[in-house]
């Protein structure tokens, strides 16, 4: 039954995964079928029971199988949509002009409150914590009165930095000193400070493809060049391709979302994170880890950021409350380790400090347990929205449409029939009162021309459903 | 009596000023003496009555004379302190290493809440508007509930941009479109965006000497070089020296505080502003105008920023609420004219947008008239503090100490006896629980080694007085 290469010990569990998925794709294992028991599989393959379990758990994470208590693992009923396919380009690119002006129009759409907001990644709005935050802020105002309108320190309010450090400790046992954390004006300024710390004008930065457009604009604005690294639609960055890229280009830093990347909404497996930091050390390349969606896994489990894997890699991790609590507070942070002094110096030169009242409010929001409770109630809403959106896409878009399989966050990435121009669809959608994000802006060479990103990070309404149906019909017409 | 050069029409009023000051310095005109009447002076000099009046009014602005209703102009009793003397260097300089580490220590002092805060320029704390702002913010929370924790648009909340445009119109009749304004994370990010818009790595930027240390850190952080332009301690930038600098160095942009510069606290006369923009046009050099103290003139009069003088000069004006209302809100702005699209693009790439709740609050704070009322009650407090501080310095510091004559803002610039090392004084002061700003950090070549800047922008207490006395005694000991 099994044909594993035992010499390749690291990948034994992967080979089990491949075997199972091949059997599912071939129709040998059908939805509802029970997988071979751990013991049986171990015996048949000669692979240890823990390794088989690791493979099954990973398949569960990818939502290909589901575990039933006291019974075993079963093949899931697959959604109608096939998964998006990888695209890859390797040229060094700044953001091209056409993409710049399209980016402007996308933001005009995002900033227009009269449109149905499928274009913006704003998960916290799916179940806003406004009431709790307002109550907390009023308490802070009463207590800190005059101080609360004054300057925060450059690194940020100590109470908030302690809470963030505690959150890391509590979530995955990572030891972070509060003084290694610099509070920023949201995750975007965190990326700016991290990138300016490790690279300068003319340097080459490796990014995932597809990747968050804000990174591309930032890299371009600083006069740097982006080079794309291939991703797997279910596991993020392909390490082998990263190594090829590092050999071929003089990459100064990588800027990756290792957890719940945008727009794919998937996370790197732990084994890839370990390999990632090894590769970084080997090639002496820094990693800027965009971790702003980290707390939004649907299953509540949270992979460990690369920074905390105990390697000697130079990693700067960027976090934010924009995606989890209050985007308008503009409070994010960088964890900097040895780079923290330089980060602080740049923070001071670029914007002095961040808003104190919001920092005091978020510190109390975390300390009271309200933040954890909020996350626990937010992620199921996001998961439900995600499933609804995928189901509606399967129903209303052409059959050849493929989608990502987000395991968290608030966005769905769609590969439309090749003839469909996403820019045209974007323009038509704006005309119909719907904002979406065309695929072009997620790559420095604007290659995702028949892709779009849809957001499910807002309260689900009839309007949302109507908008998805409208888009499906429009795609039918354009294909 | 008069020896004016009538060919030199522009400077007729200046020659009147010089004549009067020379007579005062020579002891011909003593404190309490009445100046010749406008008519008499006009007749004696052949200069028109309006020109003589212009000169007398300027002398009043400089606080050398005072007008008494129905009576005329009288020589003021001078404060004991002589005015600081100009220093000038011309080398192209980044911030030197020694200054960097001293800058760190100055900020440690500023960020330490247990010190008497004479080191930070934070005028709004002299009479905090916390209660009114809190009340306004609570109203906004109730009204804008969930929206208020969401993203603002890239350019910023339209209601606030309208209020800022109205403020310009109301204050000096300047016509600014709200869409020419981009809201920023305080004045410092405004400077960052403006500077990145007009210059890049390696470019030379002209600054005043002495100048605000945050500009120097910013220029240095972006890999640019600073060149110093001489200032007059009572009139700011010397235009003749600016012209010499522009001929000698490939200056890409000027970064000046034309109104209430920091640390001198003086404003350029209107005639110099006119010449400034002419020079900028002639040499094709951009001006970044740091106008964050603009609304804090003691006499409530507000010079017109260079941007609004109707010239073709490329000027980007940076404003902020940090110095007038709430430093911790981190809300400033850039007025950009033709550069506004590029500014918005950079704003998005660097920090997405600024805090929405604070923007909505400040918009309402302005619209209600509370902001104007607050300014009217704040500036007299600052003026009183300024006078108290100058009197105490005159009393307790060595006789050879010289001070600036601030006409607004919240800082006093002191020239100590030459033997005094301001860094030593800074260290001693920290030890005694007082934070001050040593002169070194106000110049890219750290040349103000026996200067310090003291802030009077906080509620005046016995501790403030005690700290100034302590500093005076320490300076006596160090000289």
How many Å apart are CA B104 and CA B112, to the nearest integer? 12
Q: Work out the pLDDT band at B1, boundaries 50, 70, 90.
A: very low
Residues B22, B57 within the same domain? yes
Q: Is residue A193 part of a domain?
A: yes
Q: Are residues A232 and A331 in the same domain?
A: yes
pLDDT at position B224? 95
Average pLDDT of span B251-278? 95
Q: Average of pLDDT values for B449-456?
A: 96
pLDDT at residue A9 is higher than 70: no
Q: Which of A328, A341, A344 to mutate to test the interface with B (most CBs of B within 10 A)?
A: A328
Cβ–Cβ gap A345/B129 under 8 Å:
no
> End of a domain among A372, A407, A424?
A372
Which residues, listed in sequence order, are joined to residue B438 by a DSSP beta bridge?
A: B452
Task: Please determine, for residue B6, whether its predicted confidence score (pLDDT) is greater than 80.
Answer: no
Does residue B259 lie in a domain region?
yes
Same domain, B313 and B453: no
Chains A–B, number of C-beta pairs less than 8 Å apart = 181
Residues in chain A with CB shorter than 8 Å from the CB of B378 are: none
A242: pLDDT strictly greater than 90: yes
Inside any domain, residue B3 = no
Instruction: Average the pLDDT over A160-174 and give the result.
Output: 93
Using the predicted structure, report yes or no on whether residue A183 has a pLDDT greater than 70: yes
What pLDDT is attached to residue A47?
A: 87
Select from B352, B372, B392 the last residue of a domain.
B372
The answer to whether the CB atoms of A188 and B141 lie below 8 A apart is no
Check whether residue A245 and residue A283 sit in a common domain.
yes
Mean pLDDT of chain B: 91
The verdict on A109 and A37 lying in the same domain is no
Q: pLDDT of A369-380, one tens digit each?
A: 999 999 999 999
Residues B218 and B253 in one domain: yes
How many whole angstroms separate alpha carbon A274 and alpha carbon A10? 11
> Both A262 and A202 in a single domain?
yes
Residues B249-270, mean pLDDT to the nearest whole number: 95
Q: Which residues of B touch A350 (CB under 8 A)?
A: 188-189, 192, 218, 221, 350
In 3D space, the residue among B454, B296, B395, B411 whose CA is nearest the CA of residue B79 turns out to be B395
Domain total in chain B: 3
User: Residue A314: which CATH number?
Assistant: 3.40.640.10
Q: How confident is the model at residue A3 (pLDDT cuts 50, 70, 90)?
A: low
pLDDT at B28 (0 to 100): 80
More confident residue, B378 or B79: B378
Average pLDDT over residues B36-57: 88
Query: Domain for residue A147, yes or no?
Result: yes
Residue B10 to chain A, least CA–CA distance (Å): 40
Task: In whole angstroms, give the CA distance from residue A151 to residue B325.
Answer: 11
- A298-312 per-position pLDDT tens digit: 988 889 999 999 889
Task: Kindly report, residue by residue over A30-81, the tens digit of the pLDDT.
Answer: 777 889 899 988 888 888 999 999 899 888 877 788 888 788 898 876 555 6
Closest residue of A to B329, CA-based?
A355
Q: Which pLDDT score is estimated for A81?
A: 65
Quickly state the pLDDT bin for B291 (edges 50, 70, 90). Answer: very high
Residue B459 pLDDT? 92
Shared domain for B349 and B293, answered yes or no, is yes
Distance from CA of A349 to the nearest CA of B (A): 5
pLDDT at B417 over 50: yes
Q: What are phi and psi of A290, to 5 degrees?
A: -85, 105
A207/B23: higher pLDDT: A207
**CATH for B48:** 1.10.10.10
What mean pLDDT comes out for the span A9-13?
71
A97-101, A397-401, B363-367: least confidently modelled range: A97-101
Query: What stretches of B284-369 show up as alpha helix (H) in DSSP?
Result: 340-351, 356-367
**What ipTM score was computed for the predicted complex, to two decimals?**
0.86
Question: What pLDDT is attached to residue A8?
Answer: 63
pLDDT in tens, A282-301: 999 999 999 999 999 998 88
d(C-alpha A276, C-alpha A313), whole Å? 9
pLDDT at A88: 66
Q: Which residues pair with A208 in a beta bridge?
A: A229
Q: CA of A446 to nearest chain B CA: how many angstroms apart?
A: 18
Full domain range(s) for residue B66? 9-75
With a pLDDT cut of 90, the percent of chain B lying above it is: 71
- Is B183 in contact with B333 (CB distance < 8 Å)? yes
Comparing A111 with A246, which gets the higher pLDDT?
Answer: A246
What is the pTM for the complete model shown? 0.87
Whether residue A184 is predicted with pLDDT greater than 70 in this model: the reply is yes
Q: Select the residue of B122, B131, B214 nearest A150 (Cβ to Cβ).
A: B122
Q: Could you write out the DSSP letters of every residue in B238-306?
A: -HHHHHHHHHHS-EEEEEE--SS-TTT-----HHHHHHHHHHHHHHT-EEEEE-TTGGGBTTS--PPPG
CA distances for A357 relative to A140, A198, A279, A371, A421, angstroms: 7, 30, 41, 17, 45
Can you give the pLDDT at residue A12?
83
Average the pLDDT over A352-375 and give the result: 97
- Please provide the average confidence, as pLDDT, over all residues in chain A: 91
Q: How far apart are CA B44 and CA B40, in angstroms?
A: 6
Q: Are A148 and A188 in the same domain? A: yes
Does B366 lie in the same domain as B472?
no
pLDDT of residue A414: 96
Residues A433, A346 share a domain: no
Residues A387 and A246 in one domain: no
Check CB contact under 8 Å for A351 and B348: no
Instruction: Tell me what pLDDT residue B23 has.
Output: 83
Model pLDDT for residues B297-332, shown as the tens digit of each residue: 998 888 999 999 988 999 999 999 999 999 999 999
């Amino acid at each position: 039954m099994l044909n594993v290469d035992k010499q390749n010990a690291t990948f034994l569990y992967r080979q089990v995964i491949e075997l199972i998925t091949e059997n599912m794709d071939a129709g040998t294992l059908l939805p509802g079928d029970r997988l071979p028991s751990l013991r049986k599989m171990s015996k048949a393959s000669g692979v240890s029971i823990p390794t088989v379990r690791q493979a099954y758990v990973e398949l569960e994470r990818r939502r290909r199988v589901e575990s039933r208590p006291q019974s075993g693992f079963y093949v899931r009923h697959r959604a109608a949509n096939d998964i998006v396919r990888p695209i890859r380009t390797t040229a060094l690119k700044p953001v091209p002009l056409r993409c710049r002006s399209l980016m402007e129009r996308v933001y005009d759409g995002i900033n227009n409150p009269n449109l149905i907001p499928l274009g913006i990644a704003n998960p916290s709005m799916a179940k806003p914590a406004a009431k709790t935050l307002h109550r907390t802020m009023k308490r802070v105002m009463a207590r800190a009165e005059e101080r609360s309108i004054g300057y925060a320190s450059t690194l940020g309010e100590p109470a908030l930095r302690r809470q963030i450090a505690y959150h890391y400790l509590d979530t995955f046992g990572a030891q972070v000193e509060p003084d290694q954390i610099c509070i920023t004006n949201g995750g975007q300024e965190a990326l700016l400070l991290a990138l300016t710390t490790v690279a300068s004008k003319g340097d080459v930065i490796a990014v995932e493809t597809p990747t968050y457009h804000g990174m591309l604009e930032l890299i371009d604005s600083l006069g740097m060049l982006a080079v794309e690294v291939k991703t797997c639609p279910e596991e993020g960055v392909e390490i082998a391709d990263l190594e090829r890229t590092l050999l071929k280009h003089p990459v100064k830093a990588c800027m990756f979302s290792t957890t719940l990347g945008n727009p794919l909404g998937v996370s790197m497996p732990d084994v890839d994170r370990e390999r990632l930091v090894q590769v970084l050390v080997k090639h002496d390349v820094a990693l800027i880890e965009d971790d702003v969606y980290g707390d939004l896994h649907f299953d509540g489990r949270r992979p460990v950021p690369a920074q905390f894997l105990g390697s000697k890699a130079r990693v700067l991790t960027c976090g934010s409350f924009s995606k989890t609590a209050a985007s308008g507070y503009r409070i994010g942070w960088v964890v900097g380790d040895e780079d923290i002094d330089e980060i602080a110096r740049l923070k001071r030169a670029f914007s002095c400090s961040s808003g104190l009242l919001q920092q005091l409010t978020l510190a109390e929001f975390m300390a009271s347990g309200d933040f954890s409770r909020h996350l626990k109630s937010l992620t199921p809403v996001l998961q439900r929205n995600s499933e609804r959106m995928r189901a509606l896409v399967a129903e209303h878009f052409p059959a050849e449409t493929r989608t990502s399989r987000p395991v968290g966050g608030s966005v769905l990435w769609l590969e439309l029939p090749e003839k469909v121009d996403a820019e045209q669809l974007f323009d038509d959608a704006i005309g119909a009162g719907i904002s979406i994000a065309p695929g072009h802006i997620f790559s420095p060479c604007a290659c995702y021309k028949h892709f779009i990103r849809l957001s499910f990070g807002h309260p689900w309404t009839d309007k949302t459903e109507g908008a998805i149906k409208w888009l499906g019909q429009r795609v039918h017409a354009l294909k």
